[in-house]
């Protein structure tokens, strides 16, 4: 256990109503979207739930809970991960990026703009995860081939099936960056 | 971006970017389960482990002992809920099976609801609910010994209305060339990426429901009936829907349970059901079987068409799609006979899934067309041309029909003339190449809608209607239409959807939203323009200019707000009143005086490996005509997504059923096969200009459910061309091509 995880003091007397809060007895510190923060969580709490329910960052979605769909994708120390399969305690001391952290102060991220331009957004539910998977790819490999792109987002399901447009969007960003 | 944003041709609107694009790429779009509520309790559903029988005993002690558990609802706690009659189409409940037991009617039926302070606690407790069942042997699907066939005569009225013309049996007997073939399509589940969620929040007697919905007024009214309260006490909010495809069109049993739980606890309750539960707590596309017999002259004219369908449904509910209604009208058949038989089994009740009637029935028709072309030694495109007709066998005329234009454009783009007819004659090394084609068709439905539009002197426009954008692009096309009609820049238009506090819109089903809502919107905008032109040319001392601000000043008002109602021609005068009560009246398609359909032609190349029989679809070209195209970008998105659904139907998707237990086996996103990016290669969409002033005031035919029709047949036809093997049962899997 790193120093970024601390056992919170357990209240001496807990009523039934308070038990759950009392169970949030781990304080986990990490960097979220560029800002350091500490959250009190239960040891069993999933990163996706901490983001959505605890921090109100509902751009991260959960659509299977078993790691099959990629909707809950977050970027952990530069790597796309499934936040529905990770305990929040596991991100202690690390850097987490979610969709809410992508847009700059003046404008949205080029990948976000490209998704709008190519019509890669339909119902929008897979979109945040898809964009984060794309960002992790482009951060690592700024000039991916079409096959690299397909490989990178093959873990993200889109049921409106905007696939070719999603690939066009990512390709557009890759080819626009000098 | 020429591909993403095709250049508009005649009768097509510009490809403006998606209105809700920014909200969706930034994560700002709040779907119903994203809406924060104060201190919610979390619900977890307990579902039946048997498909037929009854609950003998339910022991809750271990579940109640889990820390954080607040309450567990069982059958006894839900007796106050009223039974809502099953009805297809959004006007009633999605199923008659609404009780939590003790009788069990299908696997995965909801039998209890656990409520706890946290999701984890609710889930843990749900797994500790100890249930003893008395199980009986269920009927899982077709051919089960205890399944019940409902003969068309029993069904009565519906059977009498199915298409029939001439003496098809006699025409078949005397035909020069005949075919007789049977086809089958599997059960499929929508699997929208967003799960089924419900959040219920009481404030005194007022109930707010946040739930992804394709018909908020339907949900509001049906829920009121189920809870036994006045519909005016309920507000349903669903501004964004994370995919639906039919699964969120009707009230399913969960909603009333969550509302009831929230009232008992005096606290908001939030349910996010699991992916496996999604297979049994809502609807699905049922498996079907078909027999088609066709007779033709040597020159290709089809003289006899007999289409029989069998559809699976639940034990109590007569859900049926009866797509013979569409297949029998596609070409100028000489004589027609149709018949649909329902088979009742111990399953959850099926329901609408993207293009419900035409996906299975047009697949069967378009496969049979290919078989007939082969029998005649005719090019499959030429067989369609020989039978292309502006009138069906019953004498009904088409309002517009651009089928052969679609075929010709798609064939040219595809390079169809390079095809050699003999199966197995095209090859690239170890890959057998097959080219196939098929017709896509979707009935153009008509429905009523209300709308409210507000215009301010600054040129700000607000459009309000309880219609639904389930990823289709309705926000965008309404904004475009309002900007056009009122002559304001697009970015001045705000659109509000998916909330029963707004004027009622139609169910987002039957690809009817753009036509219905758009037609109402055009009316409201015309009324606003009329009020503007009624302004005096000049008032003493006032401005005389034509600027909006000047006109408003002369009118002496601060804004214009117009409420308008659209009722399709021939619709009942109380259509809007019915809509307020959650009853949508859908007409059109083959049911009016004229046949109204959006049509298309899809061409596919498949590559089948000569040794391993691995199947690939390197390219697919579709050309579509659907009246006025509002926005070429969102239209392309819808059609392309549809074509990929078609590839999925042909090669991937099937809900596998355990025949012993009447249970879905692959009830998760790993085992329920859908294409990923790597499966999809080149997809080309061609929009064919078409005008049709008869369908509705804006002349648009719905196309959200067009692209996925016929694709599966185009692929099986191509697989036959590659290999000489005719697959008559979907999906095509490589084991079916071995040996």
Residues of A with Cβ-Cβ distance to B243 under 8 angstroms: 123, 125, 159-160
Whole-angstrom distance, CA of residue B609 vs CA of residue B607: 6
Q: Are B312 and B347 in contact (CB under 8 A)?
A: yes
pLDDT digits (tens, 9 = 90+) for A121-143: 999 999 999 999 999 999 999 99
Burial of B394 (0-12, 13-18, 19+ CB in 10 A): middle
CB atoms within 10 A of CB A40: 17
pLDDT digits (tens, 9 = 90+) for B644-659: 999 999 999 999 999 9
pTM of the model as a whole: 0.95
Sequence-separated (6 or more) residues with CB below 8 Å from residue B222:
B84, B92, B93, B250, B251, B582
Give yes or no for residue B535 having a pLDDT over 90: no
Q: Are B690 and B611 in contact (CB under 8 A)?
A: no
Give yes or no for residue B547 having a pLDDT over 60: yes
Cα-based distances in Å from A177 to A99, A129, A133, B475: 21, 22, 18, 31
Which token pair is B81?
A: 């809920």
Please compute the mean of the pLDDT values over residues B408-437 and round it to a whole number: 97
Instruction: Indicate the pLDDT class of residue A105, thresholds 50, 70 and 90.
Output: confident
Please compute the mean of the pLDDT values over residues B634-639 and round it to a whole number: 93
Instruction: Indicate the pLDDT class of residue A7, thresholds 50, 70 and 90.
Output: low
Q: Are B719 and B597 in contact (CB under 8 A)?
A: no
Please compute the mean of the pLDDT values over residues B691-702 and round it to a whole number: 94
Assess B56–A contact: CB distance below 8 Å, yes or no: no
Give yes or no for residue A17 having a pLDDT over 70: no
What is residue B153's predicted lDDT score, i.e. its pLDDT?
Answer: 72
Q: Cα distance from B651 to chain A (closest Cα, Å)?
A: 15
Instruction: Indicate the pLDDT class of residue B234, thresholds 50, 70 and 90.
Output: very high
Q: Which of A48, A100, A160 should we substitute to test contact with B (largest number of B Cβ atoms within 10 Å)?
A: A160
Residues of B with Cβ-Cβ distance to A116 under 8 angstroms: 17-18, 21-22, 25
What is residue A1's predicted lDDT score, i.e. its pLDDT?
Answer: 43
Sequence-separated (6 or more) residues with CB below 8 Å from residue B50:
B104, B107, B133, B135, B138, B661
Q: Cα distance from B716 to chain A (closest Cα, Å)?
A: 21
Please compute the mean of the pLDDT values over residues B402-415 and round it to a whole number: 98
Residues of A with Cβ-Cβ distance to B241 under 8 angstroms: 123
Give yes or no for residue B61 having a pLDDT over 80: yes
Mean pLDDT lowest among B72-76, B276-280, B542-546: B542-546
- Of these ranges, B10-14, B491-495, B511-515, the one predicted with the greatest mean pLDDT is B491-495
Q: Which of B18, B25, B275 minimises the CB distance to A64?
A: B275
Question: B222 phi and psi, to 5 degrees?
Answer: -70, -35
pLDDT digits (tens, 9 = 90+) for A141-159: 999 999 999 999 999 999 9
Burial of B304 (0-12, 13-18, 19+ CB in 10 A): buried
For B121, name the nearest residue in chain A, comparing CA atoms only: A20
CB contact under 8 A, A157 and B472: no
Assess B472–A contact: CB distance below 8 Å, yes or no: yes
pLDDT digits (tens, 9 = 90+) for B270-290: 999 999 999 999 999 999 999
Helices B711-723 and B358-376 cross at an angle (nearest 10°) of: 30
Give yes or no for residue A2 having a pLDDT over 60: no
For B194, name the nearest residue in chain A, comparing CA atoms only: A63
Q: Are B665 and B635 in contact (CB under 8 A)?
A: no
pLDDT digits (tens, 9 = 90+) for B568-584: 988 899 999 999 999 99
Strands B206-210, B197-203: parallel, antiparallel or unpaired by DSSP? Answer: antiparallel
CB contact under 8 A, B28 and A69: no
Give yes or no for residue B68 having a pLDDT over 80: yes
pLDDT digits (tens, 9 = 90+) for B207-232: 999 999 999 999 999 999 999 999 99
Instruction: Indicate the pLDDT class of residue B612, thresholds 50, 70 and 90.
Output: very high
CB contact under 8 A, B36 and A56: yes
CB contact under 8 A, A66 and B669: yes
- Which domains does chain B carry? 1-30+397-444+589-739 (3.30.365.10), 38-137+190-278 (3.30.365.10), 445-585 (3.30.365.10)
Instruction: Indicate the pLDDT class of residue B156, thresholds 50, 70 and 90.
Output: low
Burial of A152 (0-12, 13-18, 19+ CB in 10 A): buried
Nearest alpha carbon to residue A100 among A16, A152, A37: A37
Residues of B with a catalytic annotation lie at: 705
What is residue B591's predicted lDDT score, i.e. its pLDDT?
Answer: 86
DSSP state of B388: -
What is residue A11's predicted lDDT score, i.e. its pLDDT?
Answer: 44
Whole-angstrom distance, CA of residue B222 vs CA of residue B243: 22
Residues of A with Cβ-Cβ distance to B194 under 8 angstroms: 61, 63, 123, 125
Whole-angstrom distance, CA of residue A95 vs CA of residue B562: 52
Residues of B with Cβ-Cβ distance to A23 under 8 angstroms: 67
What is residue A18's predicted lDDT score, i.e. its pLDDT?
Answer: 45
Sequence-separated (6 or more) residues with CB below 8 Å from residue A12:
none
Please compute the mean of the pLDDT values over residues B34-59 and round it to a whole number: 97
pLDDT digits (tens, 9 = 90+) for B304-333: 999 999 999 999 999 999 999 999 999 999
Place of tokens 């185009």: B714
CB contact under 8 A, A123 and B25: no
Whole-angstrom distance, CA of residue B285 vs CA of residue B188: 5
Percent of chain B with pLDDT over 90: 91
Which token pair is A85?
A: 């399969």
Assess B410–A contact: CB distance below 8 Å, yes or no: no
Burial of A24 (0-12, 13-18, 19+ CB in 10 A): middle
Q: Are B707 and B530 in contact (CB under 8 A)?
A: no
Residues of B with Cβ-Cβ distance to A16 under 8 angstroms: 67-68
Give yes or no for residue B1 having a pLDDT over 70: no
What is residue A127's predicted lDDT score, i.e. its pLDDT?
Answer: 97
Whole-angstrom distance, CA of residue B100 vs CA of residue B413: 55
Mean pLDDT lowest among B8-17, B353-362, B531-540: B531-540
Q: Are B521 and B481 in contact (CB under 8 A)?
A: yes
Q: Which of A10, A101, A103, A161 should we substitute to test contact with B (largest number of B Cβ atoms within 10 Å)?
A: A161
CA B213, B217, B219: angle at the middle one, nearest 5?
Answer: 55
Give yes or no for residue A15 having a pLDDT over 70: no
Question: B372 phi and psi, to 5 degrees?
Answer: -70, -40
Q: Which of B3, B25, B26 minimises the CB distance to A168?
A: B3
Q: Which of B5, B19, B24, B274 should we substitute to test contact with A (largest number of A Cβ atoms within 10 Å)?
A: B24
Give yes or no for residue A167 having a pLDDT over 70: yes
What is residue A16's predicted lDDT score, i.e. its pLDDT?
Answer: 45
For A54, name the nearest residue in chain B, comparing CA atoms only: B36
CB atoms within 10 A of CB A90: 15
Per the DSSP assignment, residues forming a β-bridge with B47 are B110
What is residue A178's predicted lDDT score, i.e. its pLDDT?
Answer: 41
Which token pair is B177?
A: 């060339």
| Alpha helical stretches, state H, chain A | 19-23, 47-49, 110-117, 127-140, 146-152, 163-176
Give yes or no for residue A19 having a pLDDT over 50: no
Question: B202 phi and psi, to 5 degrees?
Answer: -100, 140
Instruction: Indicate the pLDDT class of residue B585, thresholds 50, 70 and 90.
Output: confident
Instruction: Write out B35-77 in H/E/C secondary structure.
Output: CCCCCCEEEEEEECCCCCEEEEEEECHHHHCCCCEEEEECHHH
- Which domains does chain A carry? 5-101 (3.10.20.30), 110-174 (1.10.150.120)
What is residue B501's predicted lDDT score, i.e. its pLDDT?
Answer: 98
The interface pTM score, or ipTM, of the predicted complex is 0.94
Give yes or no for residue B738 having a pLDDT over 50: yes
Q: What is the mean pLDDT of chain B?
A: 95
Nearest alpha carbon to residue B631 among B518, B501, B477: B477
B67: Cα separation from own chain's centroid = 42
Nearest alpha carbon to residue B15 among B1, B25, B5: B5
Burial of B151 (0-12, 13-18, 19+ CB in 10 A): exposed
What is residue A4's predicted lDDT score, i.e. its pLDDT?
Answer: 73
Sequence-separated (6 or more) residues with CB below 8 Å from residue A65:
A84, B274, B275
Which is more confident, B152 or B249? B249
What is residue B2's predicted lDDT score, i.e. its pLDDT?
Answer: 56
Q: Which of A119, A124, A127 minimises the CB distance to B4?
A: A119
CB contact under 8 A, A150 and B678: yes
Place of tokens 């996906």: B359
User: Residue B403: in which H helix or E strand, if any?
Assistant: helix B403-414
Give the end-to-end CA distance of chain A in Å, rounded to a whole number.
Answer: 42
What is residue B160's predicted lDDT score, i.e. its pLDDT?
Answer: 73
pLDDT digits (tens, 9 = 90+) for B710-735: 999 999 999 999 999 999 999 999 99
Whole-angstrom distance, CA of residue B396 vs CA of residue B390: 8
Which is more confident, A10 or A34? A34
pLDDT digits (tens, 9 = 90+) for B359-408: 999 999 999 999 999 999 999 999 999 999 999 999 999 999 999 999 99
Q: Which of A107, A150, A159, A163 should we substitute to test contact with B (largest number of B Cβ atoms within 10 Å)?
A: A159
Give yes or no for residue A21 having a pLDDT over 90: no
Please compute the mean of the pLDDT values over residues B146-151 and round it to a whole number: 92
Q: Cα distance from A93 to chain B (closest Cα, Å)?
A: 25
Assess B491–A contact: CB distance below 8 Å, yes or no: no
Question: A67 phi and psi, to 5 degrees?
Answer: 80, 15
Whole-angstrom distance, CA of residue B493 vs CA of residue B481: 10
Please compute the mean of the pLDDT values over residues B230-248 and round it to a whole number: 98
**3-state helix vs strand vs coil in chain B, percent to 5:** 30, 25, 45
Question: B177 phi and psi, to 5 degrees?
Answer: -130, 135
């Amino acid at each position: 256990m790193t120093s970024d995880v601390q056992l919170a003091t357990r209240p001496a007397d807990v009523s039934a109503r308070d038990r759950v809060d009392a169970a949030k007895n781990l304080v986990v510190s990490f960097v979220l979207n560029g800002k350091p923060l500490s959250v009190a969580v239960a040891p069993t709490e999933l990163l996706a739930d901490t983001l959505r329910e605890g921090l109100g960052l509902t751009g991260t979605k959960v659509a299977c809970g078993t790691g099959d769909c990629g909707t809950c994708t977050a970027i952990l120390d530069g790597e796309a991960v499934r936040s529905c399969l990770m305990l929040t305690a596991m991100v202690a001391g690390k850097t987490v990026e979610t969709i809410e952290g992508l847009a700059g102060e003046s404008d949205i991220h080029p990948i976000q703009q490209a998704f709008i331009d190519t019509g890669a957004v339909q119902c929008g539910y897979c979109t945040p995860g898809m964009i984060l998977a794309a960002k992790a790819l482009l951060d690592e490999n700024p000039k991916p081939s079409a096959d690299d792109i397909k490989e990178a987002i093959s873990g993200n399901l889109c049921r409106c099936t905007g696939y070719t447009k999603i690939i066009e969007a990512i390709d557009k960003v890759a080819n626009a960056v000098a | 971006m020429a591909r993403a944003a095709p250049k508009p041709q005649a009768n097509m609107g510009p490809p403006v970017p998606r209105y809700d694009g920014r909200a969706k790429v930034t994560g700002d779009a709040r779907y119903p389960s994203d809406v924060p509520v104060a201190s919610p309790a979390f619900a977890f559903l307990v579902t039946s482990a048997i498909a037929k029988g009854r609950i003998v005993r339910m022991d809750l002690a271990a579940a109640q002992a889990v820390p954080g558990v607040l309450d567990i609802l069982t059958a006894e706690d839900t007796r106050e809920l009223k039974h809502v009659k099953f009805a297809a189409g959004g006007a009633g409940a999605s199923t008659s099976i609404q009780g939590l037991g003790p009788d069990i009617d299908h696997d995965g039926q909801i039998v209890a609801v656990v409520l706890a302070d946290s999701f984890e606690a609710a889930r843990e407790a749900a797994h500790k609910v100890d249930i003893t069942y008395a199980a009986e042997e269920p009927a899982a699907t077709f051919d089960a010994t205890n399944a019940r066939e409902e003969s068309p005569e029993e069904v009565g009225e519906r059977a009498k209305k199915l298409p029939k013309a001439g003496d098809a049996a006699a025409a078949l007997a005397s035909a020069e060339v005949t075919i007789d073939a049977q086809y089958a399509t599997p059960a499929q589940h929508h699997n929208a990426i967003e799960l089924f969620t419900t959040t219920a929040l009481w404030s005194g007697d007022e109930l707010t429901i946040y739930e992804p919905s394709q018909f908020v007024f339907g949900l509001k009214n049906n829920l009121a009936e189920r809870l036994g309260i006045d519909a005016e006490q309920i507000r349903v909010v669903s501004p964004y829907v994370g995919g639906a495809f039919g699964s969120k069109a009707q009230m399913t049993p969960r909603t009333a349970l969550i509302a009831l739980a929230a009232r008992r606890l005096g606290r908001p309750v939030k349910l996010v059901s699991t992916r496996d539960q999604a297979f049994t707590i809502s609807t699905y596309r049922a498996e079907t079987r078909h027999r088609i017999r066709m007779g033709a002259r040597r020159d290709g004219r089809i003289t006899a068409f007999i289409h029989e369908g069998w559809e699976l449904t639940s034990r109590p509910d007569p859900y049926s799609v009866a797509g013979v209604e569409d297949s029998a009208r596609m070409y100028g058949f000489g004589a027609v006979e149709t018949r649909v038989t329902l088979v009742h089994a111990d399953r959850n009740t099926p329901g609408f899934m993207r293009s419900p009637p035409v996906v299975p029935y047009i697949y069967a028709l378009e496969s049979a067309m290919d078989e007939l072309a082969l029998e005649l030694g005719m090019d499959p495109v030429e067989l369609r041309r020989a039978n292309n007709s502006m009138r069906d066998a019953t004498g009904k005329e088409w309002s517009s029909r651009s089928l052969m234009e679609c075929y010709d454009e798609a064939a040219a783009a595809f390079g169809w003339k390079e095809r050699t007819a003999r199966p197995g004659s095209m090859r690239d090394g170890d890959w057998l190449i097959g080219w196939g084609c098929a017709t896509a068709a979707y009935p153009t439905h008509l429905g009523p809608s209300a709308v409210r539009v507000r215009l301010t002197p600054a040129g700000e426009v607000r459009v309000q209607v309880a219609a639904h954008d389930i990823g289709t692009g309705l926000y965008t096309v309404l904004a475009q239409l309002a900007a056009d009609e009122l002559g304001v820049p697009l970015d001045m238009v705000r659109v509000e959807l998916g909330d029963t506090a707004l004027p009622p819109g139609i169910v987002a089903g039957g690809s009817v939203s753009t036509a219905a809502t758009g037609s109402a919107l055009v009316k409201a905008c015309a009324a606003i323009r009329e009020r503007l032109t009624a302004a005096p040319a000049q008032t003493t001392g006032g401005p005389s200019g034509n600027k909006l601000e000047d006109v408003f000043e002369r009118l002496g008002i601060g804004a214009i707000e117009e409420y308008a109602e659209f009722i399709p021609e021939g619709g009942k005068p109380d259509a809007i009143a019915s809509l307020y009560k959650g009853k949508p009246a859908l007409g059109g398609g083959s049911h009016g005086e004229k046949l109204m359909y959006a049509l298309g032609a899809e061409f596919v190349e498949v590559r089948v490996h000569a040794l391993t029989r691995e199947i690939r679809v390197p390219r697919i070209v579709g050309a579509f005509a659907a009246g006025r195209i509002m926005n070429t970008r969102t239209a392309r998105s819808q059609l392309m997504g549809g074509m990929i659904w078609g590839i999925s139907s042909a090669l991937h998707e099937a809900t596998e059923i355990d025949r012993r237990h009447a249970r879905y086996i692959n009830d998760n996103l790993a085992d329920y096969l859908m294409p990923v990016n790597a499966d999809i290669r080149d997809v080309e969409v061609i929009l064919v200009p078409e005008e049709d002033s008869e369908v509705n005031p804006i002349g648009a035919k719905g196309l959200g459910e067009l692209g996925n029709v016929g694709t599966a047949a185009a692929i099986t036809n191509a697989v036959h061309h590659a290999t000489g093997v005719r697959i008559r049962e979907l999906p095509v899997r490589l084991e079916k091509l071995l040996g």
